[in-house]
């Protein structure tokens, strides 16, 4: 478990954030974030007021990375590039999370290394991480301003024969009573544009390998746009399957067999394939994973039954 709890004695009385700055070598921002996240405890209870004075015995909850030996695909003095596997979180979502890519990132480069963009847990492929604080903000800004050009690969249901674009606004839903879709095409949503190019059709599986080029960075953009044109990504447990299967997946009750039947694959068949950008030098970085070969994860066409509507 990467989160550990340690006890300390504070003397004399001091404001909580100042104690963390002086005794634990944290910046003011990091000290305040640690307190805001409830990781400073007094008598077993989280104390969230960074200006409150503390004295006597306290406990701090630390993230201590436990890497599993995953090495970067590529690295410079400023950043690292990893091949993330499907099913692995980028960051721990709770203190009970046993493993995430942050374990590998900080095992290699220390406490101030961090992922600089997001990838869904079930999406595999390229993940960039900064090695130090000085690189984190500028790299994140490149992603936020869409300076870094990304491409993805996806195995989708059905036959796609021509290149096409989907230019449909996307909106995050606030009601999940009738659908578990987090995002939907909606006229009040944010402008969203994705270009798609078919690469290979597998007639036996009735599945097409598609290259995906997002021009905007909306949540679940590629997944929703492909669902919208009735070529959902195979293995998607939210878009393209029924309400019951989505609900069982979100509650951790969907069996592997039922997932293959209701979504068409054992995992989300979406892969972050390449990154093109300038950061002190020009870079074009590409995944070395044989994602085309991962079609073995796709369930036979006559056995999968899912909803495209």
Which residues carry out catalysis? 120
For 247-258, give one letter per residue: b (16+ CB within 10 A) or e.
Answer: ebbeeeebeeee
Find the Cα–Cα–Cα–Cα dihedral 36, 123, 211, 182, rounded to 10°. -60
Three-state DSSP class for residue 23: helix
Tokens of 69: 């030996």
For 197-225, give one letter per residue: b (16+ CB within 10 A) or e.
Answer: ebeeeeeebbbbbbbbbbeebbebbbbbb
Q: Helix 28-36 vs helix 16-24: angle between axes, to the nearest 10 degrees?
A: 120
d(CA 252, CA 292): 28
Cis peptide before 144 (omega within 30 of 0): no
159 φ, ψ to 5°?
-100, 120
d(CA 88, CA 67): 13
Find the Cα–Cα–Cα–Cα dihedral 31, 34, 37, 43, rounded to 10°. -100
The DSSP element (H or E) to which 115 belongs, if any, is strand 114-115
């Amino acid at each position: 478990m990467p989160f550990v709890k340690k006890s300390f004695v504070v003397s004399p009385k001091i404001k909580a954030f100042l104690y963390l700055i002086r005794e634990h070598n944290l910046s003011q921002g990091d000290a305040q974030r640690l307190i805001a996240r409830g990781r400073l405890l007094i008598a077993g209870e989280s104390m969230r007021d960074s200006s409150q004075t503390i004295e006597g015995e306290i406990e701090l909850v630390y993230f201590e990375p436990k890497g599993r030996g995953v090495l970067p695909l590529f690295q410079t003095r400023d950043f690292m590039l990893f091949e993330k596997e499907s099913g692995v979180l980028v960051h721990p979502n709770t203190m009970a999370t046993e493993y995430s890519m942050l374990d590998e990132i900080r095992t290699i480069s220390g406490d101030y290394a961090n992922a600089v963009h997001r990838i869904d847990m079930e999406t595999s492929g390229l993940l960039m991480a900064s090695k130090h604080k000085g690189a984190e903000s500028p790299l994140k800004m490149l992603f936020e301003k869409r300076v870094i050009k990304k491409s993805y690969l996806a195995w989708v249901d059905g036959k796609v024969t021509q290149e096409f674009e989907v230019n449909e606004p996307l909106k995050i839903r606030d009601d999940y009573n009738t659908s578990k879709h987090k995002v939907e095409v909606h006229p009040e949503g944010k402008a969203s544009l994705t270009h798609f190019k078919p690469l290979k059709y597998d007639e036996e599986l009735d599945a097409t390998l598609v290259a995906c080029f997002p021009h905007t960075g909306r949540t679940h953009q590629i997944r929703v746009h492909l669902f919208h044109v009735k070529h959902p990504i195979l293995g998607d447990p939210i878009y393209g399957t029924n309400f019951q299967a989505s609900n069982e997946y979100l509650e951790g009750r969907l069996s592997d067999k039922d997932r293959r039947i209701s979504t068409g694959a054992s995992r989300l068949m979406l892969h972050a394939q390449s990154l093109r950008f300038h950061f002190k030098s020009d870079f074009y970085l590409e995944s070395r994973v044989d994602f085309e070969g991962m079609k073995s994860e796709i369930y036979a066409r006559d056995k999968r039954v899912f909803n495209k509507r």
